[in-house]
Structure 1
Amino acid sequence: MRSTEIASDEPTRLADIVAPMFSDQSGWTRQLRDGVKVELLAGADAQDDCAVFGVDGPMEIVLGSDYVRGPKFQLYELGHLSNYDIGYYLAMANLSDIAAMGALPIALLTVIRYPRSLPDVDFTALMEGIRDACSQVGAPNVGGDIGSAERIILSASAMGIVERGRSLLRTGARPGDRLCVTGPTGIAASAQRYFGGSGTDREKLPTAKEESLLSAWRRPQALVRHGRCLSTSGLVTSCQDTSDGLKAGVQSLAAASGVGFVVEESALPVADIVAEVAQLTGGDLTSVILGDSVDFQLVFTVTADGVPRLSKSFADAGLQLTEIGYATEEHAVCLRRADGRDEDLPGVPWRHAT
């Protein structure tokens, strides 16, 4: 029996307490009187970005939920993010999970709790941020729960639909598949390094570059078009977003699919602003690219012979993808340096002790 005095860290609780509660959940079914059947295709036991329900007919229903820290964002406390920004972020963080499943978002439900002392103007800005983010992807905020609390609490649940059998899961990668990402990562982490650092005498970036850093937090984007392109291609074997960082994303795909990965350092896409901030702050560039950064890119695997076709589909749609490595039979996940040395992936993943 577990002692009531033990307070485990997050990964331990997930493994020892949460996972056993939801084991073997996928496959649950419910039959309606008229013969229509609902089946839980990917439940909490699958540990995907969202749950997936199959309903008799041509579509699957995708559901996901996420909480954000609201005013406890470091950049909010430093005055770089507004109430509008954190509302926008809440919506996009949830809609990104729908995009990572290859689904089309159709609705968002929100839980907005706030102290009674919160001015109307701040509450309005928060709600407008949610509304405008939903408008960006064409999925309305259809309600939820709004009321008072001791502090601002923000949570949401997103809903999407996808063609039957086309949900992008984390479990399908096979040895030889190519590992790809939709764009550069590390931008959100670089914003925290730059604005949250204690150094006051370092060189400052031009205002336009500072704004580009903050945009990762102020106006994140759910890559719905990218996800739909991946889903409809029929070539993608696994996928998730990089909201916990690229390293964590690759590790999650490896664990779920039972494969390993070699990530080619020379192939990683590098945003100029990330390289510039790493130099200014004395950070290791590769660690920043791979580490804990909420960039909402999609990291995915595709069959080796499917890469040219998928690349063409992306190019035709005005989108980009970058091949950064490949899946292996050996379960280790490593970084291949330019000189051919293999090392553990650098960077701090999200699974830190609390």
Structure 2
Amino acid sequence: MFAGQSGWIGKLLDGATAELVAGADAQDDCAVFRASGPMEIVVGSDYVRGPKFQLYESGHLSNFDIGYYLATANLSDIAAMGALPIALLTVVRYPRSLSDADFAAVMAGIDAACRAVGTVNVGGDIGTAERIILSGSAVGIVEPGGALLRTGARPGDRLCVTGPTGLAASAQRYFGAAGPGAGALAAEREDELIASWRRPRALVPQGRALSASGVVTSCQDTSDGLKAGVQSLAAASGVGFVVDEEALPVAGLVAEVAALTGGDVTATVLGDSVDFQLVFTVPPDGFARLPEDLAFHEIGHATEERAVVLRRRDGTVEDLPGVPWRHEV
């Protein structure tokens, strides 16, 4: 009903295909793909149910929305590798008090997010728990040697991001307990703000374009925030970065919410905002090989010195502001 049907042709690479032979509709224990041609398999997994979903608990997100978010969070990791997603597996645990209609809404959200990037939910696991718990694993394919890793940045490479960050964090701040309350922004602006959580986008076409260019030296998504992304690229590649404050793209809504709530715009843009943009590096002579229609912003450069710093508009240099997301240990 909600998942991939057998016979679906997954994705096409140059001379390679992945066909879904047995999907969730077959009621087998596992999905089966028939793969042919040269390809590499990309696999990622994300658990997304937790304190970040205060917006769900407070009624700003529906069951459909959190299903959609689950799928996007996993598919974004595939996009960041430059791969084509061919399948999503999900784990949906829920309390017995959840109605059949609400459960169906979660599954419909997962299915809709898969369709948005041309892939399918091929099943997984469902069962009871004390509260809604969501997890997923996404599978993709990419040309041999085409996967975008975090380890290739070199001194002199330019640091880029596909779009503004900070919107998801601004939504949390605005709609949270300490926010200004409904009506501080116009209704259409509130809808635009909460859309960063309701309908996030996995940037599969952009990831594919970066992979196909052959010049991108490192890449990841900003699901842990732009600061965390830049720091991860630095650590994996053994370089540092200078981020130019003047070059950071700032969405109007981020600035508006910061003004309403007394927040710092630059810290919000860099902090732990789950915006699913792609942050990547490219050599200075590689820009000409990027697609002309690829939207991105150059925000800094890689350095031999392994520090990751912000160059303010006045020329002063300091540690990156904002709070990056960190794994709990």
TM (norm. structure 1) is 0.80
Residues 149-164 of structure 1: matches in 2 within 5 Å? 149-164=129-144
Q: Does 1:349 align with 2:329?
A: no
Residues 121-270 of structure 1: matches in 2 within 5 Å? 121-200=101-180, 204-270=184-250
Q: Does 1:100 align with 2:80?
A: yes
In structure 2, the partner of 1:111 is: 91
Aligned length, in residue pairs = 295
Offset from partner CA, 1:15-41 (integer Å, 9 cap, x none): xxxxxxxxxxxxxxxxxxxxxxxxxxx
Q: 1:153 to 1:323 in 2, by over 3 A?
A: same
Q: Distance in 2 between matches of 1:273 and 1:160?
A: 33
In structure 1, the partner of 2:57 is: 77
RMSD of aligned alpha carbons: 1.7
Deviates more, 1:277-286 or 1:71-80: 71-80
What amino acid sits opposite 1:321 in the alignment? F
Q: 1:295 to 1:252 in 2, by over 3 A?
A: same
Picking from 290, 298, 306, the partner of 2:278 is 298
Q: Distance in 2 between matches of 1:274 and 1:198?
A: 16
Residues 83-94 of structure 1: matches in 2 within 5 Å? 83-94=63-74
SS at match of 2:160: strand
Q: Distance in 1 between matches of 2:275 and 2:44?
A: 18
1:153 to partner: Cα distance: 1.1
* Structure 2: runs of 5 or more not aligned: 1-34
Q: Distance in 2 between matches of 1:117 and 1:60?
A: 42
What amino acid sits opposite 1:338 in the alignment? R
* Structure 1: runs of 5 or more not aligned: 1-54
Residues 70 and 86, structure 1, Cα contact 8 Å, conserved in 2:
no
Q: Deviating runs (4+, > 4 A) in structure 1?
A: 199-203
Q: 1:106 to 1:176 in 2, by over 3 A?
A: same
1:146 to partner: Cα distance: 1.0
TM (norm. structure 2) is 0.86
Q: Does 1:58 align with 2:33?
A: no
Q: 1:123 to 1:204 in 2, by over 3 A?
A: same
Q: 1:227 to 1:280 in 2, by over 3 A?
A: same
1:260 to partner: Cα distance: 0.1
Q: Distance in 2 between matches of 1:306 and 1:173?
A: 13
Q: 1:71 to 1:265 in 2, by over 3 A?
A: closer
